[in-house]
A and B are shown apart, each in its own frame.
Chain A
Amino acid sequence: MNDLAPFEWILATRFMREGLLQTLFIIAGVALGVSVIVFMSALLTGLQSSLFSRTLDFQAQIIITAPEEIARPLYVPGKGEMSATLIQPRAQRLRSVDQWQKVRAQIEKKTGVVVVTPVVSGAGFVIRADANRAVTLTGIEPETYLHLIALKDKIVAGNAEVGSNDIVIGTELAKDMGVSINDKITMQTASGATSTLKVLGIYDFGNKAANSRSVYVALRTAQSLLNLPGGATTLEVNVADPFAAELMAQSIQAQTGLKAESWITANEDFFTALSGQSFTFLVIRLFVGLTAALGIASVLVVSVVQKSKEIGILRATGTTRQQILRLFLTQGALFGLFGSLLGSGLGWAFLAAWRGFAKNPDGTLFFAIDFDPLLFLYAAIGAVLVGTLAAVFPAQRAARLDPAVAIRG
């Protein structure tokens, strides 16, 4: 007996050792539950963060545009007058955000904003000899835009630091046009403006449509091609906490009067799917926890019956009801603790095994999984809580035992 160990701890551990097989089975049951939770939590977190990063790497968190142009009837009917009017929605022409430099400076001052970059975006054609392709032309300020979008990471040839005579295109477009780095192609827009540009970089977003449709040029080049001298069709913003983007968008909209849309609003379906996934996992966790709790409770109920004589003796020899209560609560907590330690180890092993075989054909992982030590800590705390709560009923039953009846058996 350890001098530091309290009476209830000594009894709980001895009782557990005495019924070793029973103890091992319930710990194994709890461990299995914990390992499932650890494994699934890590998997889900990895999957969700992978989805987030895939979404956010190529999309600004907040996009600010000029308010839409609306049609207004010239004649407004007076009081008591009626007028039959057919109002058609206006076609939206390419327009610049009014005084975007001033707006940019305002937004940059806001707490939580990491980067604000102007973008000029419109439709155009890439022409080389007899071949031409319709593309989306994006004019960027490389020094800020490349902090917003992970374009640099996707460059497979050359680089993305576009100058006024450069263009960055996708692998699919490069193949279609038969160009490689330093080759020249012509860019033409609907206004008739043309410019011959040098292929500075080729990217691969892992998506055929994106690789054939998007091209990047310098902001000034795009302004000139799209006939928006000094303008910016959008201001794109990233914030420190991506999940605070919606609030920030609302704040920007209120402050500037411009239309600000967060990635959360723009990807509503994606978020609904993620919420559904999280809820499903929560339900699974609840059921796993409930199963473990019922397992612990049933073992302890049996233990109380098996040990009723011992409880009677303990009560007769001076052990209080509170000590008996604490004895069984300690046992429940220990089942949870040992189960969670073993379960965390098992969960870690499952994750290591997953990393070994869940790979793409090119050898890269489906998605990255982090071994977050906090996850193990939370699992341990959760299991101890579940074990303790599961022990409440058996412990109360044990504490209520009449010693005279218990001793008689």
Chain B
Amino acid sequence: MADSKTSIDSQSRDAETDATLRLEGIKKSYKIGKSGEVEVLHGIDLVLGRGEFVALIGPSGSGKSTLLNLIGLLDKASSGLMFLTGIATENLDDRALTKLRADAIGFVFQFHHLLPAFTAVENVMLPLLAKQGRPDDAMRKRAAELIDKVGLRALANNMANNLSGGQQQRVAIARSLIMQPALVLADEPTGNLDTKSADSVFDLMREVCDTSGTTFLIVTHDPRLAQRCDRIIELVDGLIASDKKNTQVLTKGDDSPLPVAQRAAT
């Protein structure tokens, strides 16, 4: 792990460049059996700027989910440095990691993962409820606004398991935004949805990104959806094989490419 000088330098750089996330030489190994070890990530360097809408693609087993877990502070790197909103994470204890995760990261999972015992709006409230300890009107108001934003006002009080897959994913997006995170990590958010719902969910994330400045890192296997992101990072065998700006961004459910300059105007 890095010494304190390196950490301070990196934090200064993050402040200068407005980086939401900085990874430096991240490696991750897993133990197999008693003595064996397999390295899944071989040294990842990556910077995500504020408000970027980034696709992370790659074949199965390339290390996408591992990388997402590390960035989401659900797992720890074997070596390397990670700065989230300028905060070095390698020496944080479990409590501090949980707090940083709650404050800075929103999660959207492939299988929606809502709590079935709660209504749509209550699911949205949960991260804030965990932080505050007790519900209050301000929390309810904020959750209702987000539910409204994802177009589910009429279904706000439906139990989570009474919603369709697309609706559940919209609730999950609303939940990921309630803490106003700097970074939303979406692990194949449309992988379990039909094309129409997938487009709709993707449009929603795009809109949130454009209006709130939240950075999105989206793992997807769908090249059509990846083409709708500003930047596409390809991970192959635990290394970044390519990281390029997408100059021909596709717009809402349309397969015709649109130059970046024109996207803002639509």
Contacts and interface: CB of A to CB of B under 8 A. Distances in A.
A168 to B, nearest CB: 73
A17 B119 CA distance: 13
Interface size grouping (class) on chain B: 20 to 34
Given A3-B135, A7-B133, A404-B74, A317 B127 contact: yes
Contacts, number: 81
A407 B109 contact: yes
Contacts of A15: 117
Nearest to A322: B95
A328 B117 CA distance: 16
A285 interface: no
Residues of A contacting B: mostly: helix
B102 interface: yes
Given A7-B133, A10-B135, A404-B69, A314 B126 contact: yes
Nearest to B66: A404
A10 B129 CA distance: 10
Nearest to A403: B74
A317 B107 contact: yes
Nearest to B100: A318
B136 interface: yes
Interface size grouping (class) on chain A: 20 to 34
B87 interface: no
B257 interface: no
B58 to A, nearest CB: 18
B179 interface: yes
B131 A318 contact: yes
Nearest to B127: A317
B206 interface: no
Contact of B98 (A2, A5, A318, A407): A318
A404 B101 contact: no
A188 B101 CA distance: 101
Q: Which of B103, B117, B133 has the most CB of A within 10 A?
A: B117
Contacts of A310: 113, 115
B97 to A, nearest CB: 10
A7 B113 contact: no
20 contacts: A2-B135, A3-B137, A6-B134, A7-B130, A10-B129, A15-B117, A313-B114, A314-B115, A314-B126, A317-B107, A318-B98, A318-B131, A318-B179, A319-B130, A320-B95, A321-B98, A403-B74, A404-B74, A407-B109, A407-B113
